[in-house]
Amino acid sequence: MECSVYIGNEAIHAVMGRAGRKGVQIERVCSEPLAPGAVIGGVFIDEAAVKAALCSLWGRSHLPQRGVRLVVGGRSVFLKRSVVPTLSRGKLQRVLVDEFPEVEDPAELLYDYAVLTPRLPEGGGAVLCTAAPRAFIQSYRQLFASAGVGLRSAELNIGGLIKVALLSAALQRESCVVVVLDDLGVDLTLLAAGDYRFCNRSRLLEGRGTPQSAAEIGRLLSSMVQFNASEKGEPVEHVYLAGLREGEEGLCAALGESLGIAADPFPDCPEIAVLPRRRGCQFTLAEHLYAVGGLIRTGGIWG
């Protein structure tokens, strides 16, 4: 069994499981709430509070001390969908630097990619290019090391979501926007039949559960839907929401009505299931979405 961990704005999520060609088997899941404002967009604002939560989670959950797979998020990490030539992994790694011309000092970034479409009709393949500041990743390494936990690899949360989508038969059949809410953070990712198109990472101005925040989310979604229609000429058929809080049950219906698109909580996936001997495990994919994606291996920012 492997361990994948994601540090969000509201909580630390850890998942123990095993990924194979046909899906993911979940052994157990656990989480630890974070002090408000301790993490914002993947950046540690109160590192002492984050370390305390991490030590508490590891202490009571008996998670492995070595070989942990880390999933990171936030605006500090760059990502881009690109069409690249068919090259060896080593040569493609060198090409990635040119995909982010806006970066002032490319040497200060760690680069990687995930294959989206191996072969395109026009030649080459589609990949999700990622680049993370070395200092940003090092802050996570130091945090885990101070808690006595060794990391094996790191990858971007959106990459984990894409891998989950590629396993889900339901998400393979339609074009959809996946909205992940995490405190005031909101990630919107457009998928076309499981294939990543683009994403928008934003921060809400209004508090969760208010009409104002619902309107904000609606505007973000509307912009993405309209952009997709103008750029690709394709409709968005479904909106899925993860990270909903108690009391936000009506958000799906409100968004669906305002956009004229079906909107539902992010669905569980038969291909990602709890092991039979662990049927007592309280697992919902929407709650641990990014951490589960970290179990599905296709590379990472390192490792």
Percent of the chain with pLDDT over 70: 96
How many CB atoms within 10 Å of residue 22? 8
Distance of alpha carbon 17 from alpha carbon 295, whole angstroms: 7
Helix ranges, 30-168 (H): 47-61, 89-96, 134-146, 157-167
The pTM score is 0.92
The pLDDT of residue 285 is above 90: yes
SS3 of 154, please? Answer: strand
How many CB atoms within 10 Å of residue 179? 25
- Quote the tokens at residue 13: 């999520």
The pLDDT assigned to 89 comes to: 76
Distance of alpha carbon 254 from alpha carbon 268, whole angstroms: 22
Distance of alpha carbon 166 from alpha carbon 68, whole angstroms: 23
The pLDDT of residue 33 is above 90: yes
Q: Which of 153, 137, 212 is nearest to 4 (CA)?
A: 153
Residues 6+ apart with CB under 8 A from 110: 131, 132, 133, 134, 137, 301, 302
The pLDDT of residue 298 is above 70: no
Distance of alpha carbon 11 from alpha carbon 7, whole angstroms: 6
The pLDDT of residue 302 is above 80: no
What's the pLDDT tens digit per position in 38-88? 999 999 999 999 999 999 999 999 999 999 999 999 888 988 998 888 877
Q: Which of 130, 169, 180, 197 is nearest to 269 (CA)?
A: 169
List the domains of the chain with CATH numbers.
170-266 (3.30.420.40)
- Quote the tokens at residue 10: 């509201």
The pLDDT assigned to 279 comes to: 62
Residue 284: in which H helix or E strand, if any? none
SS3 of 184, please? Answer: coil
Task: Tell me the DSSP string of 206-237.
Answer: S-TTSHHHHHHHHHHHHHHHHHHHHHH-----
pLDDT band at 292 (very low <50, low <70, confident <90, very high): very high
Distances 37 to 6, 43, 202 between C-alpha atoms, Å: 16, 10, 16
